[in-house]
Amino acid sequence: MTFAERLSLYMQLTRLNRPIGILLLLWPTLWGVWIAGSGAPGWHIVLIFTLGTVLMRSSGCAINDYADRHIDKHVERTRERPVTSGRISHKEALWLAAVLAVISFLLILPLNTLTKLLSIPAVFLAASYPFTKRFFVIPQAYLGIAFGFGIPMAFAAQLNTVPPVAWLLLIANAFWAIAYDTEYAMVDRDDDMHLGIHSSALLFGKYDVAAVMICYAITLGLLAWAGQMAQLGWLYYAGLLAASGIALHHYTLIKNRRTDACFKAFLHNNWFGAAVFAGVVIDYWLR
């Protein structure tokens, strides 16, 4: 196998060829970075957390494919993933995940002790999430905590403390993750049921669409509360209004439960996160 071919396999394994997961992880991290930095975070902080997000998400994908290597072969959409198809060994996937996690930790060495301590549960959450779908009825909630742990770390890095608003943002992100990952789970509902895997789509059953919209509403409510705590202005709430419109658009996509439309709604959540971030940035910028 040539170097270019192996590099291509590594990109597939870490999903660098599909950046939607990075964006869904990056937006809430940047919410925390900007609010903790009162709209003017140091660019070294922005760089560290952006690169750390990419690395930890990539590491998590490698662990996910290791954990699901016996499951993915039964699903047409995933059976050709590098580990499942045997093009990359499961040990190689674990080594790659470990190397990426170590590099991510090296990035935060210049930061304070609290940030380093918070990196321990962050790594545990990212590494353990792929296994939760075997016993936890709503693994999407666990995903939201894992995906959002960059938020308290961003506050710790800049304030050397984690105020209540950081945890509120983390909870908001958990509800957002339940919303968008339920849309994703609606695509795989039949496969998950057949394989005995837990998902929010199976848990919510015929109320899945309503549950998604309720989770969006809770997310937006918590974000509005966080905006009050952070003393953000009307431009931030304009961003939340735009995000509300995006959530309503997702309802039109998922209401008939067509798999292609549900997957489109999942991908479109990038714009939900971006709208909230734009509101944060513009509100601070124009003060």
pLDDT tens profile 247-281: 999 999 999 999 999 999 999 999 999 999 999 99
Question: Can you tell me the distance from the alpha carbon of 168 to that of 152, in angstroms, rounded to the nearest whole number?
Answer: 10
**What pLDDT does 138 receive?**
87
**What pLDDT does 189 receive?**
80
* Top-confidence residue, 227 or 74: 227
How many domains, in total, are found in the chain?
A: 1
Asked which of 11-20, 149-158, 259-268, 275-284 is least confident by mean pLDDT, the reply is: 11-20
pLDDT digit string, tens, across residues 179-228:
999 999 998 787 667 667 778 888 898 999 999 999 999 999 999 999 99
Q: Band of the pLDDT at 130, cuts 50, 70, 90? A: confident
Q: What's the CATH code of the domain at 264?
A: 1.10.357.140
**What pLDDT does 28 receive?**
97
Residues 88-116: what's their mean pLDDT?
A: 94
pTM of the predicted structure, to 2 decimals: 0.93
233 closest CA partner among 198, 277, 283: 283
**What pLDDT does 198 receive?**
78
* Top-confidence residue, 47 or 5: 47
Residues 123-147: what's their mean pLDDT?
A: 87
Burial class (CB in 10 A: 0-12, 13-18, 19+), 7: exposed
266 closest CA partner among 279, 278, 276, 253: 253
Residues 10-26: what's their mean pLDDT?
A: 91
Angle ∠(257,261,264) on CA atoms, nearest 5: 135
**What pLDDT does 76 receive?**
67
Q: Which domain holds residue 127?
A: 3-285
Torsion angle defined by CA atoms of residues 91, 92, 93 and 97, in that order, rounded to the nearest 10 degrees = 100
Residues 19-25: what's their mean pLDDT?
A: 93
Tell me the C-alpha to C-alpha distance, in Å, between residue 22 and each of 29, 50, 59, 134, 196. Answer: 11, 9, 11, 24, 28
